[in-house]
Amino acid sequence: MHNMVSTDGDKKSLNRILTAPVLPEQAGTRLDSYLAHVVGDSRAGVQKLLEEGHIYRVDGKKVKPNYKLKAQDTFWVEQVEPIPLDVQPENIPLDIIYEDEDVIVINKARGMVVHPAAGNYTGTLVNALLYHCHNLSGINGVIRPGIVHRLDKDTSGIMIVAKNDMAHIDLAAQIQSKTAHREYIAVVRGNVKDDKGTIDTLIARDTKDRKKMTVVQAKGREAITDYEVLERFGKYTIVRCLLRTGRTHQIRVHMEYIGHPVVGDTKYSPMKMPFAIKGQALHSAKLTFVHPRSKQRMSFDAPLPEDMQKIITRLRNGQFN
């Protein structure tokens, strides 16, 4: 990827990004879906840029959101330079696993919101990162600087944050092309029968509750989760989940869909639990990626939080079989 700052007359400054050539295995993907991951924007955001003429092929040809990619396609993407961030740095402790000039890998605590939302600009991971890092990638705008992927508030574990746009674009492309691997550990209800499995569905926002996602038969986004049983305890099972896609609430929706909701997930399966845990027993345990600058493959683990470890210890002691 190459960045070039240009100006549009007396209008706003634009950040001009040249994408890497499309890989053969990415051919056939919709342009808006592909670029949403590459530039760290939503599909709606990409579609708006297309409508305004800020995205075009290197040969100058205009393309539509539903354009199907061809191998070696390369695009110019023009993004308005981020406006000054109106979110204040806060001295909030961070559990830092690794850090260098390009990336920071953290172990997010359960209960911490990743990025601010309207009316709530304090106490988030972004506030903490701004205090610690001073500089973050501006690709995701004023509310989500440096955030390449996110974890739900009540999901703990590993996240990677980009300190500059080069790292952000590279990492987003790895997530899109599935070369970055994210592994989760979950405690779910019920006895999962198959030792291994793959859940492959479409997921969309629930029309009855806009804060929830749901499996749909049409007009949804592809969502694929591989799972493997680690331990069985009769009424509960510990599973490892690997994401092939990264949809909102994906693991939580998928495990509920197959009849084994995540313990403590009051949004998708409200039920009183005999465990002391605030939020779902879901932990981002391992992250593997290629470093955007050195190109070395790196892998990091985050130990289970104390609340999940206590649940598993009690299960192993036979208290809830």
d(Cα 282, Cα 186) in Å, to the nearest integer?
A: 4
Q: Pick the residue with more confidence: 290 or 3?
A: 290
* pLDDT value of position 315: 94
Q: Quick one: pLDDT band at residue 9, thresholds 50, 70, 90?
A: very low
Whether residue 233 has pLDDT greater than 70: yes
Mean pLDDT of the region 22-49: 82
* Shared-domain flag, residues 189 and 312: yes
Strands (E), the chain: 2-7, 13-18, 55-57, 75-80, 96-99, 103-108, 156-162, 181-189, 196-205, 213-216, 221-232, 236-243, 282-290, 297-301
3-class DSSP state for residue 159?
strand
* CA-to-CA separations, 10 to 14, 79, 312, in angstroms, rounded: 11, 16, 61
* CATH number of the domain that residue 116 is part of: 3.30.2350.10
Catalytic residue annotation: 152
Whether residue 12 has pLDDT greater than 50: no
pTM score, whole prediction: 0.75
* pLDDT value of position 3: 41
d(Cα 15, Cα 54) in Å, to the nearest integer?
A: 10
* pLDDT value of position 305: 95
* pLDDT value of position 82: 54
Domain annotation covers residue 135: yes
Whether residue 35 has pLDDT greater than 70: yes
* Shared-domain flag, residues 107 and 39: no
* CA-to-CA separations, 269 to 55, 116, 186, 235, in angstroms, rounded: 42, 26, 15, 15
* Shared-domain flag, residues 302 and 237: yes
* Shared-domain flag, residues 64 and 112: no
Q: Which of 29, 49, 80 is the last residue of a domain?
A: 80
Domain annotation covers residue 321: no
Whether residue 5 has pLDDT greater than 50: no
Q: Pick the residue with more confidence: 66 or 199?
A: 199
User: What are the counts of helices (DSSP H) followed by strands (DSSP E) for the chain?
Assistant: 6, 14
* Shared-domain flag, residues 151 and 189: no
* Shared-domain flag, residues 190 and 312: yes
Q: Which of 142, 169, 196 is the last residue of a domain?
A: 169
* Shared-domain flag, residues 123 and 152: yes
* Shared-domain flag, residues 311 and 186: yes
* Shared-domain flag, residues 234 and 303: yes
- Residue 162 belongs to what domain range? 96-169
* Shared-domain flag, residues 104 and 127: yes
d(Cα 209, Cα 278) in Å, to the nearest integer?
A: 22
Q: Quick one: pLDDT band at residue 83, thresholds 50, 70, 90?
A: low
* CATH number of the domain that residue 68 is part of: 3.10.290.10
Q: Which of 81-85, 86-90, 235-239, 303-307 has the lowest mean pLDDT?
A: 81-85
Mean pLDDT of the region 111-128: 84
Domain annotation covers residue 48: yes
Domain annotation covers residue 90: no
Average confidence score pLDDT of the chain: 87
Domain annotation covers residue 87: no
Q: What is the count of structural domains for the chain? A: 3
* Shared-domain flag, residues 230 and 304: yes
Q: Which of 53, 80, 107 is the last residue of a domain?
A: 80
Q: Pick the residue with more confidence: 271 or 292?
A: 292
* Shared-domain flag, residues 47 and 103: no
Whether residue 180 has pLDDT greater than 50: yes
CA 311 to the chain's CA centroid: 26
Domain annotation covers residue 176: no
Q: Above pLDDT 70, what percent of the chain? A: 90
